[in-house]
Structure 1
């Protein structure tokens, strides 16, 4: 089970930073995130992309913890638009799959 959570967490972090950087469209997050998170990332990604050259994002590091069996929390240090930012995601296991239900970031 932990391998599954780690794989979903890594994919979610990668997708989030790609949306923020403008290298991936926000609608592709719908498989790993709830609609509210997708809308928020779409708004933030628009702000980062506005008038800027698209720079490929990087995930520098990430950590995963499991406070309870159906919840995973991920923190990551990422590079978006050439700047280092923090990223925090909450994943919840419901209806047989893991989905990102909350997101916080220092990215604009």
Structure 2
């Protein structure tokens, strides 16, 4: 059980980066975001993604705009802000550094 807990903690911490990466490619609404994440280790549900998007918006990482939909009510589309782009770049660099450090710590087996 401890192993799965550790994996879930890492996954949760990286979900912000995953969302930033997806949104950086194009503006999209929640349904599209969930679809993009669904075939990855970051697959999640609305109950997780909406609070995360709200937090990211409060932090200035993402913006939103309402777009009329031919199939119903307007949809809220999310897009990356300049701050979000900077944070994504910082997180990607940090993740690469962590990966190198973990490899370095492994060293040669004795």
Structure ranking higher in strand proportion? 1
TM over 0.5: no
Of Structure 1 and Structure 2, which has the larger fraction of its residues in helix?
Answer: 2
TM-score of the aligned structures, taking structure 1 as reference length: 0.36
TM-score (norm 2): 0.36
